[in-house]
Structure 1
Amino acid sequence: MSELRSLQFETLDSAVDDARQLLVAGYVRHGNWSLGQICRHLVLVQDPSIDGYPIWMSLFAPLRPLMRRWLLPKVLAPDSPRGIRTAPMFVPPDSLDDAAEVEAFSASVERLINHSGEFAPHPAFGRMPRDKILAIHTAHAAHHLRFLCSGNATD
């Protein structure tokens, strides 16, 4: 596989800025998804932090202590693992408009940042404080956006 960008964001707003820059500059895919598909996936994963996850996802609750100890550090690392299958409900369709999906991602991020209530328990990690939920979504955005390189970049 081609070299991926080394990408780490301080905030989710930085991830939105990166998506917008890719939209303007154009991009080269080094993975399976377009910019629009990545942004849709990020929205599909982020929004349940506020709206709640499907009840069937709570079946994994007994594994949460192990997942927090083993998987969470890997998710938060800049070189997070590739190839982990996602639930079908989080897989984006093939044909999406990049610009519309970048804006939907921006709106989802704004909603997360402005959310003042508790977040829903994460399916794998359980109930987490606000800063940890935002860190998980920020790392998740970097994980996926690293598969796209600017069309003007030489890396």
Structure 2
Amino acid sequence: MSKRAIASELRDLRFVNLEAASDDAQSLLQSGYDRCGNWSLAQICRHLRLVQDPSMDGYPRWMSLFAFLRPVMRRTLLPRLIEGNSPIGIPTSSIFVPPAELDDADEVLLFHRSVVRFKSHQGKYAAHPGFGRMDRDALETLHATHAAHHLRFLIPRPSP
């Protein structure tokens, strides 16, 4: 299936905050879902945590090797991502790829806990590897947009 065909089947999602992303994941868990992509709800929630938690805990040092590109990435790629125009089919770094055998309910709960932790975090946030230092609101917008990008590949099943 072509990228254009896949994109036409996806949900049009935009989350105003991370709680809305967590609520959507919980709703998909309750309703059941059909996949338009490669990952299950559990895999998506794990991936979102793997990307979100380093905002508080710090990213691996090697991810800053290309920090000199951050101004360009902030100016060119970040606005596109925030608008919800994320590219489809770009491979993710292996450290952020979730394993196949995960439990949906467990991972939805762990994603929710990560969201709560992010929202209550009192310390500094780590510089994003691609975009550099961001304040909490900008970082939450980025993570919420990232969640919408992935969760749009899951289509809720209608109620019986």
TM range (shorter): over 0.9
Normalized against structure 2, the TM-score is what? 0.93
Amino acid of the structure 1 residue aligned with 2:126: A
The alignment status of 1:93 with 2:99, answered yes or no, reads yes
Q: Which of 19, 37, 57 is the equivalent residue of 2:63?
A: 57
Amino acid of the structure 2 residue aligned with 1:60: F
Q: Which of 22, 28, 31 is the equivalent residue of 2:34?
A: 28
Shift of 1:132: 0.6
Shift of 1:79: 3.2
Question: Distance in 2 between the 1:62 and 1:79 partners?
Answer: 24
Normalized against structure 1, the TM-score is what? 0.96
Q: Which of 66, 69, 72 is the equivalent residue of 1:66?
A: 72
The aligned counterpart of 2:126 is 120
Secondary structure of the structure 2 residue equivalent to 1:106: helix
Runs of 4+ with deviation above 6 angstroms: none
Question: Distance in 2 between the 1:78 and 1:122 partners?
Answer: 18
Question: Distance in 2 between the 1:81 and 1:92 partners?
Answer: 19
Percent of paired sites with the same residue:
59
Unaligned runs of 5+ in 1: none
Question: Distance in 1 between the 2:35 and 2:156 partners?
Answer: 9
The CA RMSD measured in Å over matched residues stands at: 1.0
The aligned counterpart of 1:40 is 46
Shift of 1:81: 1.5
Question: Distance in 2 between the 1:78 and 1:133 partners?
Answer: 15
Unaligned runs of 5+ in 2: none
Q: Contact (CA 8 Å) 1:38, 1:144: kept in 2 or not?
A: yes
Amino acid of the structure 2 residue aligned with 1:103: L
